[in-house]
Amino acid sequence: MSDSSTARAEIGVTGLAVMGSNLARNFASKGFVTAIHNRSYAKTEALIKDHGGDGDFIASESAADFVASLAVPRKVIIMVKAGGPTDAVINELSELLEPGDILVDGGNAQFEDTRRREEALREKGIHFVGSGISGGEEGALLGPSIMPGGSAESYASLGPILEKISAHVDGVPCCTHIGTDGAGHFVKMIHNGIEYADMQLIAEAYDLLRSGAGLNPAEIAEVFSEWNKGELESFLVEITAEVLKQVDAETGKPLVDVILDAAGQKGTGTWTVQTALNLGVPVSGIAEAVFARGLSSAAAQRAAAQKVNLPGPSSPWEVQDKDAFIESVRLALYASKIVAYAQGFDVIAAGAKEYGWDIDNGALARIWRGGCIIRAVFLNRITEAFEETPDLGSLLFAPYFTEVVSRAQDSWRSVVAGAAKSGIPVPGFASSLAYYDGLRSERLPAAVIQGQRDFFGAHTYKRIDKEGTFHTLWSGDRTEVDA
């Protein structure tokens, strides 16, 4: 099939919209001969016209020519819209590829779709790699965080290419083999879920500083810039300062005051929560973040609530010591953020168990240090924690994080309590604290629930003092029987 004169591309990218074109330019600029293809040829032509000088591209109009331009074993990355379009491209390419070739889906696929596709292509001898790619447009061009799944065999030849174009932190590539079949897309989904929680928590911190301490957006931008010099240093804190600093050219108001307060979403946060529910793992921080976006976007209902004028507390928060308050919010944000990550890693552990993936959590935290949206200095601490104790049980059990939460908890509690008293919605802060208190409780009120379930549905219960399963004859003489 291959003609050795043209079949020299080391990597191919099909789907040249925002992500694909930037990824292709990244490959080419790192010295890889890069084959490019798009359903409509105009995007391919535009890439050559605007950026052909970035490196050695081989452009093809047809999928057959595209495949023929690749050196064997062929390595193709699909960067098209997730769902049906990805299936259409896979079907077309799988007819053209040969056993041993590697087909990568770099889009935001559902991990279950990836598992299905991998199984189908394995039967044809084609390695299918579902790979999370984070970092948006800029990451794709300059170095994303890459989370490839698929076979270890495929990673042996694909991995070095992906590692070269990924972000690097301290000389270490932000790319590692995650696990077989859908593992890469699974952890990308969790990454996005954590991203939702992180963004929500930062937004709540902003709201507290504004509604609680009365700071204006420019002053809050200063606070975030300051926070970004310490243990909260992260891309999201950094860009929040930039957003808050921005003044609207048209009105002269802070931009944040003229942006409609309805948060959009593309669905990966919802997938995370659905998956966690299926696996029975609490991800309350991420769930609250998804719900908060939902509430923000419920325009009609929010407008109706304004008309009804639902009552709030009679007096606002009277913050006496602004500096102390700002520090309390910082600590509450940090503690809540640790809970969100702890919950995210819990889902990864449960997914790994369910689907038989051997995921190295420390290596995963390491590849999230650069290139992706949740990149943050404290991911180093997460890597260290998992390296020291791979089977931690919870991130909160690592001495470093236990110490942070112990240092933060008084502030965390007073911020959540103060917000509740003064009517500032902090679902992320509050649910994270409730989760933390639930996790550390020796006894939970679940015993009452078990009693209720046994009462109305004879669902039985276990006892703390002896083996077995029991039922109380609630509508009879209320004696206990073995169930």
Distances (CA, A) of 219 to 69, 222, 224, 225, 316: 55, 5, 9, 10, 20
Instruction: Select from 9-17, 269-277, 300-308, 404-412 the region that touches ligand NBP (CB under 6 A).
Output: 9-17
195 is catalytic: yes
Q: Which two tokens stand for residue 455?
A: 């009462």
CB of 95 vs ligand NBP, minimal distance in Å: 14
How many binding residues for ligand NBP (CB under 6 A)? 22
CB of 160 vs ligand NBP, minimal distance in Å: 22
Give the residue among 400, 290, 407 at the shortest CA–CA distance from 342.
400
Give me the count of residues in the chain: 483
> Which residues make beta-bridge pairs with 58?
35
Q: Which two tokens stand for residue 168?
A: 């690097």
Binding map of ligand NBP across residues 112-151, x = CB under 6 A, - = no contact: ---------------------x--xx--------------
Q: Which two tokens stand for residue 216?
A: 């204006």
Of the two residues 52 and 136, which places its CB atom closer to ligand NBP in the complex? 136
Instruction: Report the run of H or E that residue 276 belongs to, with start and end.
Output: helix 268-279
CB of 18 vs ligand NBP, minimal distance in Å: 4
Lookup result for tokens 């990355």: 77
Of the two residues 147 and 205, which places its CB atom closer to ligand NBP in the complex? 147
Pairing assessment for the beta strands 57-59 and 75-78 based on DSSP bridges: unpaired
CB of 81 vs ligand NBP, minimal distance in Å: 4
Q: Does residue 38 touch ligand NBP according to CB under 6 A?
A: yes
Q: Does residue 47 touch ligand NBP according to CB under 6 A?
A: no
Phi first, then psi: give them for residue 139, nearest 5 degrees.
Answer: -60, -45
Of the two residues 198 and 454, which places its CB atom closer to ligand NBP in the complex? 198
Alpha-carbon span 31 to 20, nearest angstrom: 17
Q: Does residue 314 touch ligand NBP according to CB under 6 A?
A: no
**DSSP string computed for 387-431:** HH-TT-S-GGGSHHHHHHHHHHHHHHHHHHHHHHHHT---HHHHH
Catalytically annotated residue among 75, 118, 188, 288: 188
CB of 114 vs ligand NBP, minimal distance in Å: 12
Of the two residues 18 and 458, which places its CB atom closer to ligand NBP in the complex? 18
Let me know how many helices (H) and strands (E) the chain has, helices first: 20, 11
Handedness of CA 91, 97, 98, 100 (dihedral sign): negative
124 is catalytic: no
Alpha-carbon span 465 to 125, nearest angstrom: 55
CB of 127 vs ligand NBP, minimal distance in Å: 20
Residue 287 corresponds to which amino acid?
A
Catalytically annotated residue among 118, 195, 204, 288: 195
Of the two residues 75 and 381, which places its CB atom closer to ligand NBP in the complex? 75
Q: Does residue 304 touch ligand NBP according to CB under 6 A?
A: no
Alpha-carbon span 165 to 26, nearest angstrom: 6
Alpha-carbon span 279 to 142, nearest angstrom: 36
- For ligand NBP, the binding residue among 1, 81, 299, 421 (CB under 6 A) is 81
Q: Does residue 335 touch ligand NBP according to CB under 6 A?
A: no
Q: Does residue 190 touch ligand NBP according to CB under 6 A?
A: no
Q: Which two tokens stand for residue 40?
A: 């409509």
Q: What residues act catalytically?
A: 188, 195
Site for ligand NBP, rule CB under 6 A? 15-20, 38-40, 43, 79-82, 85, 88-89, 107-108, 133, 136-137
